[in-house]
């Protein structure tokens, strides 16, 4: 573990702490007020929900073992050998870091395989608990209950997808081992995750920062101020990132050497040209070290840093007593910011197919952002991280085919005929062709279309989400709509939107 010595004590991190001061009474007061605010947003599990999560994990572990046994027996192994082969569930992400929020109350539903993702994942909800289920195959004869994933040798011979899957758990464990105070880290991270979600800059897929990246950034600030309260760490967090000299990387420890893997190399901009292209590198502490922010684009970097600067000003007021914590978490005003928008409509006439189709398009949406950024007269492309439910109705089989191909929605209202100030035809058509190249694509049952919208064309339920001055320059933004299940004459749709 990387550590630096301050006097007679060792502190985790690649540099010495900037301050060893502890919290004042006022700092403690602000931290208590913060925790009250976080509770109002449902960021702490109840005892009942915590037990439900444990039940879900136990159930998934049992399912995994049964699945492995089933596969082994089909391949001709004896039942004893199949049972001995084992299988095990490991948690990662927010749950393993101890910062998961409340869940709803539903059974298993919305099973969505996303095979084109950087880490292939099966998304679903189990008893209301959202699950991102990733898989890895180890080069071991059996998976024992006490298997330890810390040793990098366990990665030997694995494909890149398996390494990334296992590293989810290994990275979370390393982050926790590299922070000086786990409770303060968790309180600070809950705050930053809520802020990033409210400001719509929490999405690795769309080029913003995901949960691991935000966790590493918070952990680094904790290393620099090991005895500070959560309120102080939040202030330091925004001020440090406001002045950070990107693309200088953020790391919790030095990049380690380890066993050579043909499929994966540790992050090293000196040796790997791809690593030199990373705009805001935030590096994982586990071998092989990887950049968690490789999806960040020129536009999303500008948006993230802009929100960080605004947050720093608000937190300054909170620290001075002239503002309250809820002001930090005021919702974004995405739908009031721009003059023109692009709306990507993803449609299918089958519920399960729609989940897969939407997942694929969303996984590729960042490619559209990059293509739009390449247009000389476009200053910024702003993808929106969330979806909105919508259901379309059809009365005839012809209407069903028409709508399932993405040509119209909202009860036969056709939109998207307005003229854009910038010609984005080529990148739009290239993106649609990219999506339609999916091996399971069938034009008779699914479609993807991109419509041009003026701000005045946006639905009232989204335009009411806050106010901010409209930008006059050429900007592109993105929003998502996920529709409901097809029942009777209702056609399931999913809509994703980008704005210009």
Annotated binding site for Mg(2+): 132
DSSP state of 186: H
> Angle 84-161-365 (CA atoms, 0-180°, nearest 5)?
140
CB atoms within 10 A of CB 369: 25
How many angstroms separate the CA atoms of 112 and 114, rounded? 6
CB 312 within 8 A of CB 239: yes
d(CA 301, CA 284): 19
Among residues 422, 411, 400, 385, the alpha carbon closest in space to that of 496 is found at 385
Q: How far apart are CA 149 and CA 151, in angstroms?
A: 6
Contact 212, 171 (CB under 8 A): yes
Q: Residue 461 half-sphere exposure, CB side, CA atoms within 13 Å?
A: 5
Q: What is the DSSP string of 384-414?
A: -------EEE-SSHHHHHHHHTTS-BTTTB-
Known binding positions for ATP: 132, 193, 202, 211-212
Cβ proximity of 283 and 272 under 8 Å = no
CB 135 within 8 A of CB 165: yes
- Report the C-alpha gap between 288 and 267 in whole angstroms: 7
Residues 6+ apart with CB under 8 A from 199: 307, 311, 332
- Tokens 């705009």 -> residue: 279
Q: Is 44 helix (H, G, I), strand (E, B) or coil?
A: coil
Distances (CA, A) of 148 to 95, 151, 258: 19, 7, 17
Q: In angstroms, how far is CA 131 from the centroid of its own chain?
A: 13
Running DSSP on this structure, what letter comes out for residue 243?
T
Residue pair 354/445 in contact by the 8 Å Cβ criterion: no
């Amino acid at each position: 573990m990387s550590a630096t010595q301050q006097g007679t004590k060792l502190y985790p991190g690649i540099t010495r702490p900037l301050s060893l001061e502890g919290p004042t009474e006022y700092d403690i007061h602000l931290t208590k007020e913060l925790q009250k605010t976080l509770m109002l947003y449902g960021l702490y599990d109840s005892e009942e929900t915590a037990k439900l999560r444990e039940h879900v994990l136990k159930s998934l572990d049992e399912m995994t073992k049964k699945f492995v046994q089933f596969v082994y027996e089909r391949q001709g192994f004896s039942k004893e050998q199949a049972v001995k082969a084992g299988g095990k569930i490991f948690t990662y992400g927010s749950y393993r870091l101890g910062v998961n929020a409340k869940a709803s109350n539903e059974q298993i539903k919305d099973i969505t395989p996303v095979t084109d993702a950087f880490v292939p994942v099966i998304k679903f909800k189990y008893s209301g608990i959202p699950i991102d289920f990733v898989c890895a195959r180890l080069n071991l004869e059996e998976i024992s209950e006490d298997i330890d994933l810390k040793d990098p040798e366990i990665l030997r011979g694995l494909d890149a997808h398996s390494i990334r899957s296992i590293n989810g758990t290994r990275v979370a464990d390393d982050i926790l081992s590299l922070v000086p105070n786990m409770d303060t880290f968790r309180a600070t991270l809950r705050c930053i995750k809520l802020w990033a979600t409210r400001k719509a800059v929490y999405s690795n897929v769309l080029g913003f920062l995901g949960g691991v990246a935000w966790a590493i950034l918070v952990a680094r600030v904790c290393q620099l101020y090991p005895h500070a309260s959560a309120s102080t760490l939040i202030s330091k967090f925004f001020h440090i990132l406001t002045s950070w000299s990107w693309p200088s990387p953020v790391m919790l420890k030095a990049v380690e050497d380890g066993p050579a893997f043909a499929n994966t190399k540790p992050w090293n901009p000196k040796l790997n040209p791809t690593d030199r292209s990373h705009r805001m590198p935030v590096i994982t502490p586990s071998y092989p070290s990887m950049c968690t922010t490789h999806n960040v684009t020129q536009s999303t970097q500008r948006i993230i840093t802009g929100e960080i600067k605004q947050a720093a000003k608000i937190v300054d007021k909170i620290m001075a007593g002239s503002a309250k914590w809820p002001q930090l978490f005021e919702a974004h005003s995405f739908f009031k910011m721009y003059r023109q928008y692009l709306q990507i409509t993803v449609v299918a006439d089958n519920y399960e197919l729609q989940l897969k189709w939407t997942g694929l398009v969303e996984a590729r949406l960042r490619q559209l952002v990059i293509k739009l950024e390449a247009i000389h007269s476009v200053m910024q492309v702003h993808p929106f991280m969330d979806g909105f439910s919508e259901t379309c109705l059809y009365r005839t089989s012809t209407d069903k085919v028409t709508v399932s191909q993405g040509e119209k929605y909202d009860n036969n209202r056709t939109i998207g005929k307005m003229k854009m100030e910038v010609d984005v035809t080529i990148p739009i058509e290239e993106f649609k062709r990219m999506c339609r190249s999916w091996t399971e694509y069938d034009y008779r049952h699914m479609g993807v279309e991109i419509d041009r919208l003026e701000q005045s064309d946006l639905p009232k339920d989204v335009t009411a989400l806050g106010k901010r001055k409209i930008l006059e320059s050429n900007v592109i933004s993105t929003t998502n709509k996920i529709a409901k299940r097809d029942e009777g004459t209702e056609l399931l749709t999913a809509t994703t939107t980008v704005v210009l």
